[in-house]
Structure 1
Amino acid sequence: MKVCVIGGGHGSYAAAAELSEKDHHVTWWRRDAAAFSPLIDGGVLEIDDHRGRRSVGVGDADGIAITTDLAEAVSNADVIVAPVPAFAHDSLARVLAPHLRDGQIVYLPPGSFGSVVFAAAVREAGNPADVAFAETGTLPYLARKHGDTRVVVSGYATRLPTGVFPARHTERALATLSEVYPAVERIEDALSGALMNAGPIIHPPLILMNAGPLEHFPSWDIHNEGTQESIRRVTSALDAERVAIREALGYDAPHFPLADHYTADGDEWMYGNAAHEKLTDSGDWREHIDLRTHRYMTEDVEVGLALLSSVARWASVPAPVADGLLAIAGAVTGRPAGSGERTLEGLGLDRLDRDGMRAFLTEGFVQ
């Protein structure tokens, strides 16, 4: 399969390495072309996981092809994998939109309803291509970069519930995507996929309820000593609101309750059982978190949680925990956390009724 990987974060490094090792033809592009220099100069990307440390060739005939030309990167790709933060979707969508062609699949792991943002950008660019945009609830990897040429993967997703926009492309898109990520599982549509996003459930309580130690200590592991019973109870209440929204919208189980992430004997979660222990044992999540600028705030709170809250309002489902966390986050950052371009209001979709939303999710933008 011809795959284009976009981005320079942890997930992009892991995707480039894993998909190349699986014999897909991988082309890799990122905006900061200069940041690729250590990989190009060294000629290898190191990956370290449960199978040990090894090297993947970069720039050779059988390895990862790196390019600074976006049009070249996507021109022959069957699947474009973009594990970039949700706050980068708008600008990426605009530069990517003119280069997409009929039949391509853009995968956003996770998406936070970014599929609609990318589809809108294609429409606004005047590109008539019929593209499928798919999104899931998490990165396919528990991964952290160690420098510019090495990525450590603590775990791989075993289940990736994935929705497609527009949903009329679901059969075709998932048949192709499953060749790249066999863990892909079909769900109803892109909004269902957005409401599977685990980041806005896990991270807001962890960073806001650990605000003291995060600001006091030079580094703090919110997933290890930061995950205490009182915080878990808040997380469970927030996740119950997410599930209530999904049920109110008629989305089917499994809803991948977050409680299964923390147990070894529940239903298999997205990273399999006992994934939380793999994450904390790695030590890779002991880090400095700036509460104003870290991705957990700018992506998981101000994009993902704001979207969840807006869907709750639209569906008339009470979400006091989500709303309360957004209010606290706004007080911490001095920015309005509960509104923005990724809410239903910001996307201009809050005016749709249930039937209108269902038609939009199925058919996409009508020319």
Structure 2
Amino acid sequence: MKVAVLGGGHGCYAAAAELSEKGQEVWFWRREASAFEALNANGGVTVRDHAGTRTVPIAHATASLQEAIEAAELVVIPLPAHTHEDLAAACAPYWRDGQIAFLPPGTLGSVLFIQAARAEGNTAKVRFAETGTLPYLVRKHGPAEIVVSAYATRLPTGVFPRSERDEVLDIIREAYPAVEADADILSGALMNAGPIIHPPLIMMNAGPLEHFEAWDIHNEGTQPAIRAVTTALDAERMSLREALGYSAPHFPLADHYTSDGDEWMYGNAAHEKLTDSGDWREKIDLQTHRYMREDTQLGLSMLVSIGRWAGHPMPVAQGLLALASAITGEDLYASGRTLERLGLASLDRASMTEWMNGGH
């Protein structure tokens, strides 16, 4: 299958390498051709994981977004949510009928891509899919080297339009066999683990994050009091899903922290693999880091707005978002990824369901 991978982050390099190694023909896009100098000199992406170390060649490294999208059957966008708005506008002219865009995860980013294409006058019938996490626990260790601590084993994925879900998931499974059928992209967005894991960790570790040169929020930063808040926040997410009529499995985050519960998105004992790697001991700037700008500003605001739309209280999510707004000195709800800003808040539930199914 011909696949485009868009972006230059940790997950983008992992996707380009894994999909190439699986035999897909990959167009790997970054904005600047110079960003691929190290990759070209290296002969590909050097991968270190449970299988050892090897260098994986990439068929097409390109700085032409048009070339990458127009060549692909499947477009994979493993980028932070705060990149979606600009990228959606850049991609808008190039979509063509029958393509699939996969956002792992999405935070309702699919809506931005759909709206940008329509604003461009592009009426191509493109299908979109969103899942609950990046398919990799990965960090770049150089301009052409990555270390993958774990690969996702279960990826609950919602599709727009829902009426084409089964066909779309069959195609995505050629690249990611771990995808599982979720309902629609709203349900898929409510599987996003980032807004559940990261906001409590950065807010409740704010002192050590600002004091020490580096701090591992997933290791010494994950203490019982913080886990209690995370559990309460996740309970709000699952309760909201149920209020909207989405059925289990809801992939409770508690399963990520145990080795004997139901298998979570990265499999059992994934938390130990993450902390053992040491790759998440880092300096986190509470003003700029993606845990604030993606998972809090966009992810938590999304949860709060969906709760408001559904008439379902989200006190822990709203409280954490208020704390984050105080830390940053900004109203993060006003600038967040809300149903109001996406133009969906005026829909009633029946109209939302109709639209998610592929209606107008």
Aligned mates of 2:270, 2:187 — CA distance in 1: 23
Aligned mates of 1:329, 1:162 — CA distance in 2: 29
TM-score (normalised: structure 1): 0.97
Instruction: Please list, as runs of the form range in 1=range in 2, the aligned pairs for 1:70-89 lying within 5 A after superposition.
Output: 70-89=65-84
Aligned mates of 2:94, 2:113 — CA distance in 1: 12
Which amino acid is the alignment partner of residue 62 of structure 2? T
Work out the percentage of aligned pairs sharing the same amino acid.
63
2:327 paired residue number: 332
Structure 2 counterpart of 1:141, from 136, 155, 158: 136
Structure 2 counterpart of 1:176, from 161, 164, 171: 171
How many Å apart are 1:44 and its aligned residue? 2.3
Which amino acid is the alignment partner of residue 337 of structure 1? L
1:317 paired residue number: 312
Aligned mates of 1:332, 1:341 — CA distance in 2: 15
Q: Which runs of 4+ in 1 moved over 6 A?
A: none
Aligned mates of 1:189, 1:340 — CA distance in 2: 25
1:35 paired residue number: 35
How many Å apart are 1:105 and its aligned residue? 0.3
Contact 1:30 1:68 in 2 (8 A): yes
Aligned mates of 1:149, 1:80 — CA distance in 2: 21
Contact 1:329 1:337 in 2 (8 A): yes
Which amino acid is the alignment partner of residue 198 of structure 1? A
1:260 paired residue number: 255
Contact 1:323 1:338 in 2 (8 A): no
1:16 paired residue number: 16
TM-score (normalised: structure 2): 0.99
2:271 paired residue number: 276
Which amino acid is the alignment partner of residue 45 of structure 1? V
Contact 2:302 2:336 in 1 (8 A): no
1:167 paired residue number: 162
1:99 paired residue number: 94
User: Could you report, residue by residue, the CA deviation over 1:47-104 in whole angstroms, capped at 9, with x for unpaired residues?
Assistant: 00000110112xxxxx431011111111121100010110110100111111110000
How many Å apart are 1:355 and its aligned residue? 0.3
Structure 2 residue 224 is the aligned partner of structure 1 residue 234 = no
Alpha-carbon RMSD across the aligned residues, in angstroms, is 0.9
How many Å apart are 1:341 and its aligned residue? 5.0
Which amino acid is the alignment partner of residue 135 of structure 2? P
Contact 1:16 1:64 in 2 (8 A): no
2:60 paired residue number: 65
Aligned mates of 1:97, 1:174 — CA distance in 2: 23
SS of equivalent residue, structure 2 residue 93: helix
How many Å apart are 1:42 and its aligned residue? 2.6
SS of equivalent residue, structure 1 residue 98: coil
Contact 1:47 1:56 in 2 (8 A): yes
2:216 paired residue number: 221
SS of equivalent residue, structure 2 residue 142: coil
Contact 2:43 2:55 in 1 (8 A): no
Structure 1 counterpart of 2:347, from 327, 336, 352: 352
Which amino acid is the alignment partner of residue 104 of structure 2? P
Which amino acid is the alignment partner of residue 311 of structure 1? I
SS of equivalent residue, structure 1 residue 363: coil
How many Å apart are 1:169 and its aligned residue? 2.0
Structure 1 counterpart of 2:197, from 192, 202, 212: 202
How many Å apart are 1:3 and its aligned residue? 0.5
How many Å apart are 1:205 and its aligned residue? 0.2
Aligned mates of 2:80, 2:352 — CA distance in 1: 25
Contact 2:301 2:336 in 1 (8 A): no
Contact 1:110 1:197 in 2 (8 A): yes
Contact 1:309 1:319 in 2 (8 A): yes
Aligned mates of 1:265, 1:64 — CA distance in 2: 40
List alignment gaps of at least 5 residues for structure 2.
none
Which amino acid is the alignment partner of residue 2 of structure 2? K
How many Å apart are 1:43 and its aligned residue? 2.1
Contact 1:116 1:165 in 2 (8 A): no
Structure 1 counterpart of 2:112, from 102, 113, 117: 117
Which amino acid is the alignment partner of residue 18 of structure 2? E
List alignment gaps of at least 5 residues for structure 1.
58-62
1:60 paired residue number: none
Which amino acid is the alignment partner of residue 41 of structure 1? A
Which amino acid is the alignment partner of residue 52 of structure 1? G
Aligned mates of 2:350, 2:308 — CA distance in 1: 17
Aligned mates of 1:324, 1:44 — CA distance in 2: 45
Aligned mates of 2:124, 2:343 — CA distance in 1: 23
